[in-house]
């Protein structure tokens, strides 16, 4: 069983690697960021609560995020594994997941952390374009789609995220160091932690992660 957490700073390549992992290992991709953005574009109650917070680069409150993940993980398609991308992001979220996982029969068994130096993250975020439909990430410099502005996977028009501006990115990075980086020690203590150097190049990082997943199966 692969019950995976994918973590790392904003722009490290979580979404990029997630798409490859779910295509190869047939897992549901649960990206809290994608779920919030979908709610924002549909104008739901959750979307209205999250919109301003996300656009300025802050974290959505733990209670909202934890409830969202609990109901998503409880769905039938997560019974045989899942890939969490961008959750947990605070110690309170990690504690909640540690409690809810076994309760709903979905305990985490692997944590994959991808890190990249800050100066590279800034560049990646500046050039990023994303698919609003399937969540795939591209880059106008380093990872161009086959046809400019169009998603290779699903054919949708690519967009730039509203929080991919220098001011919001700085807040996201500060929040990462203050609130998310402490999860490294949390998951080392749980014996679940695996680190990958996101500077190794897309194919090499994908291959290293795939090796770990195959060994875990």
Q: Does residue 198 touch Mg ion according to CB under 5 A?
A: no
Contacts of 171 (CB under 8 A, 6+ apart): 56, 57, 58
Q: How many CB atoms lie within 10 A of CB 79?
A: 14
Q: How far is the CB of 163 from Mg ion (least distance, A)?
A: 11
Q: What, of ligand AP5, Mg ion, none, does residue 201 touch, CB below 5 to 8 Å by kind?
A: ligand AP5
Residue ranges of alpha helices (H) inside 26-109 are: 32-42, 45-56, 62-73, 91-103
Q: Choosing from 20, 124, 128, 129, which is the catalytic residue?
A: 128
Our answer to whether residue 98 is catalytic in this structure is no
| Residue, CB closest to ligand AP5 | 33
Structure-block tokens of residue 163: 């929080």
Closer residue to ligand AP5 (CB): 109 or 208: 208
Q: What, of ligand AP5, Mg ion, none, does residue 209 touch, CB below 5 to 8 Å by kind?
A: none
Question: Are the beta carbons of 116 and 10 closer than 8 angstroms?
Answer: no
From the list 8, 9, 11, 15, which residue makes contact with Mg ion (rule: CB under 5 A)?
A: 15
| Residue, CB closest to Mg ion | 15
> Considering just the CA atoms, what is the radius of gyration of the chain in Å?
16
Our answer to whether residue 89 is catalytic in this structure is yes
Q: How far is the CB of 115 from ligand AP5 (least distance, A)?
A: 10
Instruction: Please state, in angstroms and rounded to a whole number, the distance separating the CA atoms of residues 178 and 170.
Output: 12
Catalytic residues: 14, 89, 128, 161, 172
For binding to Mg ion (CB under 5 A), which residues are involved?
14-15
């Amino acid at each position: 069983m692969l019950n995976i957490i994918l973590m790392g700073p904003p722009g490290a390549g979580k979404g990029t690697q997630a798409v490859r992992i779910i295509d190869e290992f047939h897992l549901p991709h649960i990206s809290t960021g994608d779920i919030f953005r979908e709610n924002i574009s549909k104008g739901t109650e959750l979307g209205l609560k999250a919109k301003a917070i996300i656009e300025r680069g802050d974290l959505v409150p733990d209670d909202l995020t934890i409830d969202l993940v609990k109901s998503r993980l409880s769905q039938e398609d997560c019974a045989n594994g899942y890939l969490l991308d961008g959750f947990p992001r605070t110690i309170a979220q990690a504690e909640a997941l540690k409690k809810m996982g076994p309760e709903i029969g979905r305990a985490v068994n692997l944590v994959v952390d991808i890190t990249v130096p800050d100066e590279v993250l800034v560049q990646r975020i500046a050039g990023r374009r994303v698919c609003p439909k399937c969540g795939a990430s591209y880059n106008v410099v380093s990872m161009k789609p086959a046809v400019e502005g169009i998603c290779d996977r699903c054919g949708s028009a690519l967009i730039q995220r509203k929080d991919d501006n220098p001011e919001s990115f700085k807040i996201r990075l500060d929040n990462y160091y203050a609130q998310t980086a402490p999860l490294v020690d949390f998951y080392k203590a749980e014996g679940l932690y695996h680190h990958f150097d996101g500077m190794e190049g897309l194919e090499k990082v994908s291959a290293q992660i795939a090796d770990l997943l195959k060994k875990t199966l």
